[in-house]
Structure 1
Amino acid sequence: MRLGIIGQAVGLFAVTNVDDILVLSLFFAQGAGRPGAARRIVIGQYLGFAALLAVAGAAAFGATFLPEGVLPYLGLLPLALGLKAARRAWRGSGDDEDDGPGSGGGPGPLEVAAVTFANGGDNIGVYVPVFATAGAAGLTVYTVVFLGLVGVWCLAGRFFATRPVVARALSRWGHVLLPAVLIGLGVLILVEGGAFGL
């Protein structure tokens, strides 16, 4: 029984988060060679995903923190971050002068968390009914498996970002790809959710 739930949790996580590997790879490429960047990306990924789990878990048991009509507007987060990254790339300052003192450059944990949460906003709708039918014990299994897989996803993202061919491509085009992916992701979330009557 428990093995069945673990298998379902692995499958559900993989299906709903496959696009996260691309975003993580871009973040890891952006932070390459910068002290502490990988740690900040992992922390941000965990923060964003923990927030998703908290909202979905609460909604499964009747509490609603985010009305359903708000979810499409989460697309504004990656859209704003993508525009900020595009502005930096346009100015030719791929170095993150506004990341704050002592950040070491690269994406910050809150930036990664915001993108993770916004990108997973549609996952909430999938997770809620699953969590509601799983009960408290099942929800615990899903949470443990999901949080374990977040670590696997971070390793996969870093792995892809450090492959020589991929690393060269991301090094050359990452300053263009990251804003494009974030802006595209934001627009997709807004349009698919029907935000602003789109």
Structure 2
Amino acid sequence: MSLGIAGQAVVLFAVTNVDDIVVLALFFAQGAGHRSTTRNIAAGQYLGFAAILAVAVAAAFGATFLPDEIIPYLGLLPLALGIKSAVQAWRRRADLGDDAKTADKAPGILEVASVTFANGGDNIGVYVPVFATAGAAGMSVYVVVFLALVAVWVAAGRFFATRPVIAKALSRWGHILLPIVLIGLGLLILVEGGAFGL
């Protein structure tokens, strides 16, 4: 039984988090060459995903920390971070000319965590009914599998960011792509959720 649930957990995690690999690869590209990059990204990813799981588990037991009307507004987090990254990239471009990559720094733990949480806010709506029907034992299997797969996702993001062809493209364009992806992600969350009557 728990083996079947573990398999279902793997599929559910992969389907609901496939877009995270792109964001993680961009974060790795942003922090390339900094010692704390992997640690910050892994810690931020775990922190953000643990928050998603905490809300989903609590909601499965009947608590409602995030009303459904609030979830679309989580899109404001990546939108704000994307705008901030775009402004920083623009300033660096003005200061450094074409070599805007030089001034990049490792992404912060809270930056990664907030993007992870905002990006996974809609996942909460998927996880809650699954967790509620799985019962306490089944839910614990889902949580353990999900937390193990976070490490796999971080490794996959790092893997893609360090492939020579991808790394070269991310090195050249990552400082532009990260703000675009974060702004797009934020707008998508806002629009799909119907925030502000969109």
* Equivalence for 2:137: 137
Distance 2:66 2:190 in 1: 16
Deviation at 1:2, TM superposition (A): 1.0
Residue 158 (structure 1) shift: 0.1
Residue 56 of structure 1 deviates from its aligned partner by 0.4
Residue 120 of structure 2 corresponds to: 120
Matches of residues 106-185 of structure 1 in structure 2 within 5 Å?
A: 106-185=106-185
How is 1:13-92 mapped onto 2 (pairs within 5 angstroms)? 13-92=13-92
Which residue identity does 1:82 align to in structure 2? G
Secondary structure, in 3 states, of the residue corresponding to 1:6? Answer: helix
Distance 2:189 2:2 in 1: 34
Deviation at 1:91, TM superposition (A): 0.7
Q: SS in structure 2 opposite 1:35?
A: coil
- For structure 2, the 5+ residue unaligned runs are 93-99
Name the SS of the counterpart of 2:69 in structure 1.
Answer: helix
- Could you state the TM-score of these two structures normalised by the residue count of structure 1? 0.94
| Alpha-carbon distance in structure 1 between the residues aligned to 2:69 and 2:41 | 29
- Shift of residue 131, structure 1, vs aligned partner: 0.2
What is aligned with 1:6? 6
Distance in 1 between residues matched to 2:33 and 2:110, nearest whole Å: 20
TM-score normalised according to structure 2 size: 0.94
Whose helix fraction is larger, Structure 1's or Structure 2's? 2
Give the deviation of 1:88 after TM superposition.
0.5
Supply the distance in 2 between the matched residues of 1:38 and 1:8 (Cα, whole angstroms): 28
* Counterpart for residue 192 of structure 1: 192
CA–CA separation in structure 2 for the residues paired with 1:51 and 1:139: 15
Code of the aligned partner of 1:34:
H
What SS class does the counterpart of residue 70 from structure 2 fall into? helix
**Among the aligned pairs, what percent are the same residue?**
77
For 1:34 and 1:63, how far apart are their aligned partners in 2? Answer: 41
CA distance in 2, matches of 1:150, 1:106: 19
- The AA in structure 2 aligned to 1:87 is V
Runs of 4+ more than 6 Å apart: none
Structure 1 gaps of 5+ residues are 97-104
Task: Report the AA paired with residue 160 of structure 1.
Answer: F
Q: Secondary structure at the match of 2:14?
A: helix
